[in-house]
Structure 1
């Protein structure tokens, strides 16, 4: 694992020559590396390099761009073990989950983009007397989060490159070391200088400089809804395109004819992966009043299996929160839930261990829709159980949120599918449907706009031109 890192600007490494940001292992609280505290000047230099490289990259034959994408996918696959251990070290995800998800899904999604283009992507079409042409939008600023530090980089950078755009990446300063591996893989894949650039730093300094920059044609951002609003505000000055993948407060709807054991087990599993630090975490479980007691019993048993532990241990299912600030945020929400009258069936606010940024996986019962823990995104291992009287109320409660990113429904196939269609969310799983890396991912309402993955992810980075003849 690389301990000290730098920017990538115009194909060259730059250390910034100034202040650095320390990277802390959240399990041990030890400093494991550092990155430059980039400046607006660094961002400007990276945008200039990307602009200079754009015309040639956009004109590069599609077959050559696809070949680069496949080499990136192969390069990530070759370094899967290193990627997993780096993710575990910098953000605390348990090594088994880091290997199976953090280090593996990006391999599939990057290959998926290449497959889409090889499968006959429609770059042009005839509409009456018009020739409709799809062209790369230009220079893309990709601003990515700490919770999936490679997955989100790949979801933005790879389709942008595939579309013919050039990119400036600003990875999270909290978990930036995995992006260093990605930068090395991109260079080894033969991507020309200036096509991919990377500037480390904070959101207020580097992120805002990129969002406001007149040389940036599009910003693709993943993070909190609050930060997404700020990105939109800053970007509006140049009327550039903004794609946002933001927060969530997703619900698992358990219908009265569901297999309860399966529904509760998978519902809990959908809340707690990555320590609950997932925008699509299923953090609310809506259950029929008549089955409440049995659901609480099953959920308590399932949550009890997620004991916090050393993330380097293959048997650990819950690691630490990514930082002390995130731990404190989650603990504050747990205390708020108790203060507002919810019952902590499992867990609570007390620290489970003396060292590391750990919290107890917590299951709340007696939660009402107006409680803070039922409305706000916690971003930690906290699950709330709410009850409903009938299917209509279940749908209303599921949609009673400012978010609309994801959801799940369990029940007989026909009923579950009917309810899934009524949920105002960008992605809904029925009876444990598997994640599809080529299906569109993104949110309704304040969960953002735009879509990632597959052809939908590529289309985000294209302009559409009509030529009348």
Structure 2
């Protein structure tokens, strides 16, 4: 079979490999299946294309436009994912592994599309936090905003997840309005190239939004500016080298790294053999050792268990690992495929040999194991290897050597403080897990290890049926870790989008800030219309449009009736003497919810109209009590508008209630769905 030429997509053109191309072998057979690399790529043209064409095109779109684009891209990949499955087998991955990589990447894109529509405005400006009042009378205010960087994101990805590794970075980058240049690891770049072709051929992306380097990136990093971002996944050694690129240091280029991680899993002292938690622990460790043949940045490398349970854990894991069928990943019977390459196999065996100087191998002999359906000498196959370290306090390699394959080490702990200390010996990891049903244990361990870990995963019999697993980074939650793990963050919902935006503190008058953010701020100009705002459709409502109601007097009878009708007979509403003894009240007062009910009655338009539903209220505060005889009036202002679908959008109203002295007694934000 003739090797496939894996192309790069640069400055709008597909460019084939040249004589400098590197050969890529199948992880199953060792045969050359592809070649990639072109030393003549014009990297400056690629950067210019992204900055001058891709960036402006993306920034012209709102967050909602970009979110709809991401959803359509995910749907297109979903419809064509079988092509990606078929290619991925040669990376050594099984069909179950494909579900993590391909389906996981597509699912992540769907999540960012959803979050873009639900949690971000239909705008190009994202407001970060509340408005800050910087002056006594509110004429000078401050607001943090996030805007798209006018540069380019360079994504340097690892070999183990050629689809998910790209999409988990690409989705928030595009949602932020920043073009990306994707550089996958050469060993599996043929899968990434296929995914990029699918996205480009869909016609859904603006020109220049996505480019691909299959092979080396030359001196691209030397040409980056303060408006660019590098997001890297790989080894700590490579990350350190890239961080020290003079242009990255001198220009303060944002550098996000996710690198080596000696992740740990701790068995709680309550999880004895025979318990649901003990069995769960064995299942989690076995799965993390063998999924993707252990080639996961979140895989469990250190197994930390009570001293009394060491033998039982070794026995249980050995039994479970013995059931793992190693072989051709295309076979349905195969539970674990090959490492990605012969070079990776050599590296894993070298690192395992280092661990063996401090620990005893208790399962898995790399010189004596069976591979079904393939030649283990030609493919990059290794068996799961389990070690036992009898003295983890004196050991060093077991805490700083990552064999990036199906290799893990069991070690005992004396007490919870010792368990936490061992977990922290990794000097920063992406994830640590704890299997326990004891909340006291969970709290103590979490507080002692959280500073060293980007994620703490706790599971037990209550949550195990729905939990996602120790090794599953979710788009909703932060993925990253301190120290050895790189000190960076990815994912985490909208947090990931903000990595590709600049947070800026903007100061000015309420009118100026409202104009910049597209959100009405108290003190900004208000408008009114002869027609009631509830009779006006979504598109006709203007930011700052305000309704002021006539006043209504609150009586003792109103308070008594509300109390009896609702059952809320709290003494402050019913007993004048008792209320006077309360430091917050001058005497008997109206219910806060009575005031809200009256307010609704004062501003609601009762006839059928474009307002479809009240979906809730936010930020409710009661500032001053209302006593019988006081009057209240309501001011209702359009604060923000967010389209939700083709039929209706969400209108956020600022509602304030004032008394007869114009003192504010309550405020909140009302959410309504209004027809287009």
TM-score relative to the length of structure 1: 0.93
Q: Distance in 2 between matches of 1:416 and 1:224?
A: 33
Deviation, 1:166, is: 1.0
CA contact 2:51–2:179 (8 Å) conserved in 1: yes
| Map of 2:503 onto structure 1 | 464
| Map of 1:163 onto structure 2 | 176
| Map of 1:179 onto structure 2 | 192
Aligned-partner SS, 1:335 = helix
Q: Distance in 1 between matches of 2:500 and 2:144?
A: 16
Structure number with the higher helix fraction is 1
Aligned-partner SS, 1:239 = coil
CA contact 2:17–2:35 (8 Å) conserved in 1: no
* Greater shift in the superposed pair: 10-19 or 354-363: 10-19
Deviation, 1:102, is: 1.2
| Map of 1:334 onto structure 2 | 352
Q: Distance in 2 between matches of 1:254 and 1:88?
A: 34
Aligned-partner SS, 2:109 = helix
| Map of 1:86 onto structure 2 | 87
| Map of 1:422 onto structure 2 | 448
Deviation, 1:271, is: 2.7
CA contact 1:374–1:384 (8 Å) conserved in 2: no
Aligned-partner SS, 2:147 = strand
Q: How many residues align?
A: 461
Q: Can you list the C-alpha shifts for 1:288-334, whole angstroms capped at 9, x where unaligned?
A: 11112111110111121223211111221221111111101111223
CA contact 1:221–1:243 (8 Å) conserved in 2: yes
| Map of 2:103 onto structure 1 | 104
Aligned-partner SS, 2:161 = coil
Higher relative contact order at CA 8 Å, sep ≥6: structure 1 or structure 2? Answer: 1
Q: Can you list the C-alpha shifts for 1:400-429, whole angstroms capped at 9, x where unaligned?
A: 122321111011141453123432211122
Aligned-partner SS, 2:4 = coil
Q: Distance in 1 between matches of 2:377 and 2:298?
A: 30
Aligned-partner SS, 2:412 = strand
Deviation, 1:287, is: 0.7
| Map of 2:382 onto structure 1 | 359
CA contact 1:103–1:150 (8 Å) conserved in 2: yes
Q: Distance in 2 between matches of 1:341 and 1:165?
A: 47
Matched, 1:124 2:124: no
Matched, 1:221 2:232: yes
| Map of 1:267 onto structure 2 | 285
Aligned-partner SS, 1:293 = helix
Aligned-partner SS, 2:503 = strand
Q: Distance in 2 between matches of 1:372 and 1:397?
A: 13
Q: Distance in 2 between matches of 1:16 and 1:269?
A: 38
Q: Distance in 2 between matches of 1:330 and 1:62?
A: 43
Matches within 5 A, 1:10-159: 10-15=11-16, 17-39=18-40, 41-53=41-53, 54-89=55-90, 91-98=91-98, 100-121=99-120, 123-125=126-128, 126-128=131-133, 129-137=141-149, 138-159=151-172
Q: Distance in 2 between matches of 1:62 and 1:319?
A: 40
Matches within 5 A, 1:198-213: 198-202=212-216, 206=217, 209-213=219-223
Q: Distance in 2 between matches of 1:2 and 1:192?
A: 32
Q: Distance in 2 between matches of 1:201 and 1:351?
A: 35
Q: Distance in 1 between matches of 2:18 and 2:284?
A: 49
Q: Distance in 2 between matches of 1:330 and 1:379?
A: 6
Q: Distance in 1 between matches of 2:61 and 2:358?
A: 61
Deviation, 1:96, is: 2.5
Q: Can you list the C-alpha shifts for 1:229-252, whole angstroms capped at 9, x where unaligned?
A: 111111213221111111100111
Q: Which has the larger radius of gyration?
A: 2
Moved over 4 A (4+): none
Aligned-partner SS, 2:182 = strand
Contiguous gaps of at least 5 residues in structure 1: none
C-alpha RMSD of matched pairs (Å)? 2.0
Aligned-partner SS, 2:211 = strand
TM-score relative to the length of structure 2: 0.65
Aligned-partner SS, 1:219 = strand
Q: Distance in 2 between matches of 1:95 and 1:2?
A: 23
Deviation, 1:264, is: 1.6
* Greater shift in the superposed pair: 124-133 or 71-80: 124-133
Q: Distance in 1 between matches of 2:302 and 2:263?
A: 6
**Are the structure 2 counterparts of residues 272 and 422 from structure 1 closer, same or farther at C-alpha, using a change threshold of 3 Å?**
farther
| Map of 2:207 onto structure 1 | 193
Q: Can you list the C-alpha shifts for 1:249-278, whole angstroms capped at 9, x where unaligned?
A: 011100111222221221221232111111
